[in-house]
Chains A and B, each alone.
Chain A
Amino acid sequence: MFDLTGKNALVTGASGGIGADIARALHKAGATVALSGTREAPLAELAAELGERAHVVTCNLSDAAAVEALPKAAADAMGSVDVLVNNAGITRDNLAMRMSDEEWQSVIDVNLTSTFRLCRGVLRGMMKARWGRVINISSIVGTTGNPGQVNYSAAKAGMVGLSKSLAFEVASRGITVNCVAPGFIQTAMTDKLNDEQKGRILAQIPSGRMGSPQEIAAAVLYLASAEAGYVTGSTLHVNGGMAML
Protein backbone atom coordinates (compact mmCIF):
# COMPACT_ATOMS: atom_id res chain seq x y z
CA MET A 1 0.00 0.00 0.00
CA PHE A 2 2.78 2.43 0.89
CA ASP A 3 5.36 3.10 -1.78
CA LEU A 4 8.77 4.44 -0.82
CA THR A 5 10.42 3.95 -4.18
CA GLY A 6 13.19 6.50 -4.62
CA LYS A 7 13.38 7.36 -0.93
CA ASN A 8 16.52 6.82 1.11
CA ALA A 9 16.17 5.74 4.72
CA LEU A 10 18.70 5.63 7.54
CA VAL A 11 17.80 3.19 10.31
CA THR A 12 19.82 3.08 13.54
CA GLY A 13 19.96 -0.05 15.64
CA ALA A 14 19.29 -2.06 12.50
CA SER A 15 21.00 -5.14 13.92
CA GLY A 16 18.39 -5.39 16.67
CA GLY A 17 15.11 -7.27 16.46
CA ILE A 18 12.88 -4.27 15.88
CA GLY A 19 15.40 -2.28 13.82
CA ALA A 20 15.99 -5.13 11.38
CA ASP A 21 12.28 -5.48 10.72
CA ILE A 22 11.90 -1.73 10.28
CA ALA A 23 14.66 -1.86 7.66
CA ARG A 24 13.00 -4.85 5.98
CA ALA A 25 9.64 -3.10 5.82
CA LEU A 26 11.03 0.13 4.38
CA HIS A 27 13.14 -1.81 1.89
CA LYS A 28 10.19 -3.94 0.84
CA ALA A 29 8.23 -0.76 0.14
CA GLY A 30 10.93 0.27 -2.30
CA ALA A 31 13.24 2.41 -0.19
CA THR A 32 17.00 2.28 -0.25
CA VAL A 33 18.21 1.66 3.30
CA ALA A 34 21.35 2.49 5.23
CA LEU A 35 21.70 0.05 8.10
CA SER A 36 23.45 1.46 11.13
CA GLY A 37 24.59 -0.23 14.29
CA THR A 38 27.71 -0.90 16.29
CA ARG A 39 28.40 -4.43 15.08
CA GLU A 40 29.16 -4.85 11.42
CA ALA A 41 28.55 -8.61 11.05
CA PRO A 42 24.79 -8.67 11.67
CA LEU A 43 24.35 -5.54 9.56
CA ALA A 44 26.25 -7.10 6.67
CA GLU A 45 24.13 -10.22 7.04
CA LEU A 46 20.93 -8.17 6.85
CA ALA A 47 22.25 -6.19 3.88
CA ALA A 48 23.02 -9.45 2.10
CA GLU A 49 19.51 -10.70 2.84
CA LEU A 50 17.98 -7.51 1.42
CA GLY A 51 20.22 -7.51 -1.64
CA GLU A 52 20.19 -4.35 -3.73
CA ARG A 53 19.43 -0.95 -2.21
CA ALA A 54 21.01 -1.84 1.17
CA HIS A 55 24.10 -0.23 2.68
CA VAL A 56 25.95 -0.76 5.92
CA VAL A 57 27.11 2.29 7.89
CA THR A 58 28.45 1.30 11.29
CA CYS A 59 28.34 3.84 14.10
CA ASN A 60 28.87 3.80 17.83
CA LEU A 61 26.16 6.14 19.09
CA SER A 62 27.97 6.83 22.35
CA ASP A 63 30.77 8.43 20.32
CA ALA A 64 29.74 12.04 19.59
CA ALA A 65 32.09 12.44 16.62
CA ALA A 66 30.85 9.21 15.05
CA VAL A 67 27.24 10.36 15.46
CA GLU A 68 28.03 13.67 13.78
CA ALA A 69 29.59 11.80 10.87
CA LEU A 70 26.75 9.30 10.38
CA PRO A 71 24.27 11.43 8.38
CA LYS A 72 27.00 12.31 5.89
CA ALA A 73 28.17 8.71 5.61
CA ALA A 74 24.59 7.62 4.96
CA ALA A 75 24.03 10.40 2.42
CA ASP A 76 27.28 9.50 0.67
CA ALA A 77 26.15 5.90 0.42
CA MET A 78 22.58 6.58 -0.73
CA GLY A 79 22.63 10.08 -2.22
CA SER A 80 20.45 11.63 0.50
CA VAL A 81 18.64 10.83 3.72
CA ASP A 82 14.90 11.30 3.23
CA VAL A 83 13.76 9.14 6.12
CA LEU A 84 15.51 8.89 9.48
CA VAL A 85 14.49 6.21 11.95
CA ASN A 86 16.07 6.66 15.36
CA ASN A 87 15.57 3.17 16.66
CA ALA A 88 18.82 2.39 18.47
CA GLY A 89 18.56 2.20 22.21
CA ILE A 90 20.25 0.70 25.21
CA THR A 91 19.11 -0.12 28.72
CA ARG A 92 21.14 0.10 31.93
CA ASP A 93 18.45 -0.74 34.46
CA ASN A 94 18.82 -0.08 38.14
CA LEU A 95 16.75 1.27 40.98
CA ALA A 96 17.11 5.02 41.18
CA MET A 97 18.74 4.82 44.60
CA ARG A 98 21.43 2.56 43.19
CA MET A 99 21.83 4.10 39.75
CA SER A 100 25.25 5.55 39.00
CA ASP A 101 25.79 8.76 37.06
CA GLU A 102 27.43 6.63 34.39
CA GLU A 103 24.34 4.40 34.03
CA TRP A 104 22.16 7.47 33.80
CA GLN A 105 24.37 9.33 31.35
CA SER A 106 25.09 6.48 28.97
CA VAL A 107 21.39 5.83 28.41
CA ILE A 108 20.65 9.54 27.94
CA ASP A 109 23.58 9.88 25.55
CA VAL A 110 22.78 6.93 23.32
CA ASN A 111 18.99 7.09 23.38
CA LEU A 112 18.28 10.82 23.51
CA THR A 113 21.35 12.88 22.64
CA SER A 114 22.22 10.81 19.58
CA THR A 115 18.63 11.15 18.41
CA PHE A 116 18.96 14.92 18.59
CA ARG A 117 22.33 14.93 16.84
CA LEU A 118 21.11 12.72 14.02
CA CYS A 119 17.97 14.81 13.55
CA ARG A 120 20.11 17.94 13.34
CA GLY A 121 22.43 16.22 10.88
CA VAL A 122 19.75 15.20 8.40
CA LEU A 123 17.65 18.38 8.48
CA ARG A 124 19.67 20.38 6.01
CA GLY A 125 19.08 17.91 3.20
CA MET A 126 15.42 17.47 4.10
CA MET A 127 14.81 21.23 4.21
CA LYS A 128 16.33 21.65 0.79
CA ALA A 129 14.30 18.76 -0.56
CA ARG A 130 11.15 20.13 1.08
CA TRP A 131 10.40 16.58 2.12
CA GLY A 132 11.48 14.47 5.06
CA ARG A 133 10.36 11.94 7.60
CA VAL A 134 11.83 11.54 11.06
CA ILE A 135 10.52 8.65 13.11
CA ASN A 136 11.79 8.26 16.63
CA ILE A 137 11.24 4.98 18.40
CA SER A 138 10.14 5.86 21.91
CA SER A 139 8.60 3.40 24.37
CA ILE A 140 5.49 2.84 26.41
CA VAL A 141 7.61 3.38 29.53
CA GLY A 142 8.27 6.96 28.47
CA THR A 143 4.62 7.57 29.24
CA THR A 144 3.80 5.03 31.95
CA GLY A 145 7.15 4.79 33.76
CA ASN A 146 8.73 1.55 34.85
CA PRO A 147 10.58 0.72 38.07
CA GLY A 148 14.29 0.32 37.46
CA GLN A 149 14.24 2.50 34.36
CA VAL A 150 14.43 6.14 35.42
CA ASN A 151 17.15 6.68 32.82
CA TYR A 152 15.45 4.80 29.99
CA SER A 153 11.99 6.24 30.61
CA ALA A 154 13.42 9.77 30.86
CA ALA A 155 15.20 9.32 27.54
CA LYS A 156 12.12 7.87 25.87
CA ALA A 157 9.85 10.63 27.18
CA GLY A 158 12.52 13.10 26.09
CA MET A 159 12.27 11.80 22.55
CA VAL A 160 8.58 12.64 22.52
CA GLY A 161 9.19 16.24 23.61
CA LEU A 162 12.05 16.58 21.16
CA SER A 163 9.89 15.29 18.34
CA LYS A 164 7.07 17.72 19.08
CA SER A 165 9.37 20.75 19.19
CA LEU A 166 11.18 19.72 16.05
CA ALA A 167 7.86 19.01 14.33
CA PHE A 168 6.86 22.62 14.99
CA GLU A 169 10.10 23.95 13.57
CA VAL A 170 10.11 22.08 10.27
CA ALA A 171 6.46 21.37 9.47
CA SER A 172 6.32 24.20 6.91
CA ARG A 173 9.10 22.49 4.95
CA GLY A 174 7.26 19.24 4.33
CA ILE A 175 9.12 17.41 7.06
CA THR A 176 7.19 15.41 9.62
CA VAL A 177 8.55 14.23 12.97
CA ASN A 178 6.75 11.53 14.87
CA CYS A 179 7.30 8.83 17.45
CA VAL A 180 6.32 5.20 17.59
CA ALA A 181 6.01 3.92 21.15
CA PRO A 182 6.17 0.13 21.35
CA GLY A 183 4.81 -1.80 24.29
CA PHE A 184 6.20 -5.26 25.02
CA ILE A 185 7.60 -6.69 21.82
CA GLN A 186 8.97 -10.15 21.26
CA THR A 187 12.73 -9.67 20.83
CA ALA A 188 15.94 -11.12 22.18
CA MET A 189 15.54 -8.69 25.08
CA THR A 190 12.14 -9.96 26.14
CA ASP A 191 13.03 -13.61 25.40
CA LYS A 192 15.28 -13.44 28.44
CA LEU A 193 12.31 -12.99 30.77
CA ASN A 194 11.21 -16.12 32.66
CA ASP A 195 7.68 -17.54 32.44
CA GLU A 196 6.59 -15.91 35.65
CA GLN A 197 7.76 -12.49 34.47
CA LYS A 198 6.11 -13.01 31.11
CA GLY A 199 2.89 -14.12 32.76
CA ARG A 200 2.77 -11.00 34.85
CA ILE A 201 3.34 -8.79 31.83
CA LEU A 202 0.79 -10.59 29.66
CA ALA A 203 -1.84 -10.16 32.38
CA GLN A 204 -1.56 -6.42 31.82
CA ILE A 205 -1.96 -6.57 28.04
CA PRO A 206 -5.56 -6.66 26.80
CA SER A 207 -4.43 -8.35 23.58
CA GLY A 208 -3.01 -11.17 25.70
CA ARG A 209 0.21 -11.40 23.75
CA MET A 210 3.42 -9.59 23.07
CA GLY A 211 3.72 -7.59 19.88
CA SER A 212 5.90 -8.59 16.98
CA PRO A 213 8.70 -6.46 15.55
CA GLN A 214 6.77 -6.45 12.26
CA GLU A 215 3.91 -4.66 13.98
CA ILE A 216 6.29 -1.87 14.99
CA ALA A 217 7.78 -1.81 11.50
CA ALA A 218 4.31 -1.38 9.99
CA ALA A 219 3.71 1.71 12.12
CA VAL A 220 7.07 3.14 11.04
CA LEU A 221 6.29 2.39 7.40
CA TYR A 222 3.03 4.30 7.65
CA LEU A 223 4.69 7.35 9.22
CA ALA A 224 7.42 7.26 6.55
CA SER A 225 4.90 7.23 3.73
CA ALA A 226 3.64 10.11 1.63
CA GLU A 227 0.16 9.28 2.89
CA ALA A 228 1.14 10.26 6.46
CA GLY A 229 2.17 13.76 5.38
CA TYR A 230 -0.41 15.45 7.61
CA VAL A 231 0.62 13.52 10.72
CA THR A 232 3.33 15.29 12.69
CA GLY A 233 4.34 15.69 16.31
CA SER A 234 2.34 12.67 17.24
CA THR A 235 3.13 9.43 18.98
CA LEU A 236 1.71 6.22 17.62
CA HIS A 237 1.32 3.75 20.49
CA VAL A 238 1.63 0.11 19.49
CA ASN A 239 1.12 -1.83 22.68
CA GLY A 240 -1.81 -4.22 22.46
CA GLY A 241 -3.90 -1.91 24.61
CA MET A 242 -1.48 -2.08 27.56
CA ALA A 243 -1.77 1.69 27.86
CA MET A 244 -4.52 3.43 25.92
CA LEU A 245 -3.13 6.89 25.27
Chain B
Amino acid sequence: MSDIADRVKKIVVEHLGVEEEKVTENASFIDDLGADSLDTVELVMAFEEEFGIEIPDDAAETIQTFGDAVKFISEKA
Protein backbone atom coordinates (compact mmCIF):
# COMPACT_ATOMS: atom_id res chain seq x y z
CA MET B 1 0.00 0.00 0.00
CA SER B 2 1.23 3.46 -0.83
CA ASP B 3 2.48 5.88 1.75
CA ILE B 4 -0.44 8.19 1.09
CA ALA B 5 -2.97 5.43 1.67
CA ASP B 6 -1.29 4.57 4.97
CA ARG B 7 -1.43 8.14 6.16
CA VAL B 8 -5.04 8.55 5.08
CA LYS B 9 -5.97 5.32 6.82
CA LYS B 10 -4.28 6.43 10.02
CA ILE B 11 -6.31 9.65 10.04
CA VAL B 12 -9.56 7.79 9.38
CA VAL B 13 -8.87 5.20 12.08
CA GLU B 14 -7.97 7.82 14.64
CA HIS B 15 -10.74 10.20 13.80
CA LEU B 16 -13.62 7.80 13.46
CA GLY B 17 -12.40 5.30 16.02
CA VAL B 18 -12.86 2.34 13.67
CA GLU B 19 -10.79 -0.80 13.23
CA GLU B 20 -8.15 -0.67 10.56
CA GLU B 21 -9.54 -3.71 8.71
CA LYS B 22 -12.81 -1.90 8.11
CA VAL B 23 -11.10 0.90 6.20
CA THR B 24 -11.17 -0.72 2.79
CA GLU B 25 -11.05 0.72 -0.71
CA ASN B 26 -14.82 0.99 -1.04
CA ALA B 27 -15.67 1.72 2.58
CA SER B 28 -18.00 4.70 2.70
CA PHE B 29 -17.19 7.10 5.53
CA ILE B 30 -20.86 7.68 6.28
CA ASP B 31 -22.50 4.34 5.40
CA ASP B 32 -19.79 1.93 6.52
CA LEU B 33 -17.60 3.77 9.00
CA GLY B 34 -20.26 5.58 10.99
CA ALA B 35 -19.23 9.12 10.17
CA ASP B 36 -21.75 11.95 10.43
CA SER B 37 -21.66 15.00 8.18
CA LEU B 38 -19.50 16.92 10.62
CA ASP B 39 -17.02 14.04 10.75
CA THR B 40 -16.62 14.21 6.98
CA VAL B 41 -15.84 17.94 7.24
CA GLU B 42 -13.28 17.21 9.94
CA LEU B 43 -11.71 14.40 7.90
CA VAL B 44 -11.26 16.76 4.96
CA MET B 45 -9.70 19.33 7.30
CA ALA B 46 -7.35 16.68 8.63
CA PHE B 47 -6.38 15.57 5.11
CA GLU B 48 -5.67 19.18 4.16
CA GLU B 49 -3.35 19.59 7.10
CA GLU B 50 -1.60 16.26 6.77
CA PHE B 51 -0.84 16.71 3.08
CA GLY B 52 -0.58 20.49 2.89
CA ILE B 53 -3.23 20.71 0.19
CA GLU B 54 -6.48 22.57 -0.26
CA ILE B 55 -9.61 20.53 -0.89
CA PRO B 56 -12.37 22.76 -2.25
CA ASP B 57 -15.96 22.15 -1.15
CA ASP B 58 -17.12 20.74 -4.47
CA ALA B 59 -14.24 18.27 -4.47
CA ALA B 60 -14.84 17.39 -0.83
CA GLU B 61 -18.36 16.33 -1.73
CA THR B 62 -17.03 13.74 -4.16
CA ILE B 63 -14.88 12.11 -1.47
CA GLN B 64 -17.27 9.50 -0.14
CA THR B 65 -15.05 6.48 0.39
CA PHE B 66 -11.56 5.76 1.63
CA GLY B 67 -10.58 4.97 -1.97
CA ASP B 68 -11.95 8.34 -3.15
CA ALA B 69 -9.83 10.12 -0.57
CA VAL B 70 -6.63 8.29 -1.48
CA LYS B 71 -7.23 8.87 -5.19
CA PHE B 72 -7.95 12.58 -4.77
CA ILE B 73 -4.99 13.20 -2.51
CA SER B 74 -2.62 11.17 -4.70
CA GLU B 75 -3.51 13.41 -7.61
CA LYS B 76 -3.08 16.60 -5.62
CA ALA B 77 -0.16 15.95 -3.32
Contacts and interface: CB of A to CB of B under 8 A. Distances in A.
A227 interface: no
10 contacts: A124-B45, A127-B38, A127-B42, A127-B45, A128-B45, A169-B38, A170-B38, A172-B36, A172-B38, A173-B38
Q: Which 9 A-B pairs have the closest CB atoms?
A: A127-B42, A124-B45, A169-B38, A172-B38, A173-B38, A170-B38, A127-B45, A128-B45, A127-B38
A197 to B, nearest CB: 47
Interface in B4-57: 36, 38, 42, 45
Nearest to A171: B38
Contacts, number: 10
A206 B45 CA distance: 50
Interface residues of A, number: 7
Interface of B: 36, 38, 42, 45
Given A127-B42, A128-B45, A172-B36, 7 more contacts: A124-B45, A127-B38, A127-B45, A169-B38, A170-B38, A172-B38, A173-B38
A184 B19 CA distance: 56
A124 B42 CA distance: 8
Interface in A112-145: 124, 127-128
Contacts of A172: 36, 38
Contacts of A170: 38
